[in-house]
Amino acid sequence: MESIIKKIEAEISAWSPQGGSEEVGIVRATGDGIAEVDGLSNAVMSEMVLFDPTFDRTLAEALKDPSPVYGLVLNLEEDGVRAVILGDASKIYEGMLVRRLNRLLSIPVGEPLVGRVVNPLGEPVDGKGSSGATEMRPIEREAYGVIDRAPVNVPLHTGVKAIDAMIPIGRGQRELIIGDRGTGKTSIAIDTIINQKNEPASTRPVCIYVAIGQKESKTAKLVAELEERGAMEYTIIVTAPASAPAALQFLAPFAGATIGEYFMEQGRDALVIYDDLSKQAVAYRQMSLLLRRPPGREAYPGDIFYLHSRLLERAAKLSKERGGGSLTALPIIETQEGDVSAYIPTNVISITDGQIYLEANLFNKGQRPAINVGISVSRVGSSAQTKAMKKVAGKIKLELAQFRELEAFMQFSSDLDAETKKRIDAGRRMTEVLNQGRGVPLPFHMEAAVIFAATNGYLDAFSPEEVGAVEATLQEYFSREAPDVLAAIGESKEISGQLEKTLREKLDTFVARHGSETSSART
């Protein structure tokens, strides 16, 4: 092997159109998706390199290869570099030529990507041909500073009543969705994408869904659902499946952030969902150990916090001087047995502006979404709510938290006083109102009208068991007999004066009609 390397080094020094060992190196060893490269003494961190089996062609000719294999420099060492292989590692062998590309890892961005499924390098993988995107942007960049940002005060409606009422998300916010496997984390994210169909086209955000380490069948099913619901027309899917190298799973969230930043800098709104960062952390741990970086807690490298912070800090609401665009981030973290105090969950909780915690026990009881209102929080809060939602949902969170405490206490007491029983029934009604199945996000005006009815006592005539069916009937009633009221709420974003009076009249009519029907059916 040494004689082969010496022979190649002699050939490189004889053929050095771009500066010998400063621009060209050779693979010393390769394995597990990592290449050790001799030479490249001028290489920089996060620079792209090209693995080229041919000596007698220029760099321009090498880049025309139909299936080039790139690498990403991540370790700068005394006698060379270590690079992760971004592609088919089986094509890389000892003694192979490696060329510097003199640019940081960049991907194509722009409008042509909308409606497409791409890999973390921006290459389409949906079988629909080239995307046509030509503008290239570095996959990593410094986040905007405080001066360039504006307060987060415009709501991003998810269409999920429980979230829009109690844990509002603003455009430019970072809201963590956390919970055990199979508790509905992805469902909330997908419902949020689908719900943007209910927003005016002028203010509708471009949605980017980043699938990290997911089964390809799951991603294909998701794409089919979004196409069926008409949501792919404003959505981009970035996929790094479980079969992809760890390097691509590590890069996928950064690719999603880079694509989102393009739209943000155009003065538009964008939403990026990272599903999920637990798998990115595992991929980064794998890469770091193979790169011989020292392991820390749970074998994660010491800079794992920095990995997620520099990613999530890129979410922002820009100032008017910067165009006023926004990038909202919804990272997802999977917990083990509900342990939010583990390493990666605590890291991401401390970086984000709040968390939506989904609890397995609530999920198993049939609550959808299974949100634990006690430890779920939005640190932006009512700043990201419309006046209408503030008015109707102001006390819900506190009342539900108190109801949970009473419900736990109730298990140990068979005899309840009238006041306690009344509060427990009220809590059960509200829980039923906030229950919502997957794939049926509600427009903002419908959410506001339904929650107004619940918080103003219009559903008290019905037992908690009847509320679910009554609410579905109420939605049909509003759509059929009060579309002007819904339109007015959606346009004005508040419920006051004559509009509130009209809404109360409609609700009185509904209760008079359906309350009597329910009571007669009960008897």
- Identify the active-site residue in 57, 103, 292, 379: 379
Q: Is 269 helix (H, G, I), strand (E, B) or coil?
A: strand
Can 103 be counted among the known catalytic residues?
Answer: no
8 A C-beta contact, residue 163 and residue 372 = no
CA distances from 218 to 227, 281, 363 (A): 14, 21, 21
CA distance 269 to 327: 6
CA distances from 241 to 83, 217, 430 (A): 21, 10, 39
Radius of gyration of the chain (CA): 27
CA distance 37 to 29: 7
Annotated binding site: 179-186
Annotated binding site for ATP: 179-186
- Name the H helices within 119-215: 161-166, 185-195
Token pair recorded at residue 146:
């405080």
8 A C-beta contact, residue 43 and residue 101 = no
Backbone angles phi, psi at 365, to 5 degrees: -80, -10
Name the nearest CA neighbour of 318 among 270, 359, 278.
270
CA distance 146 to 177: 25
Apex 450 CA angle, 449 and 453, nearest 5:
90
- For residues 178, 285, 84 and 244, what is the CA-based torsion angle, rounded to 10 degrees? -50
Catalytic residue positions, numbered? 379
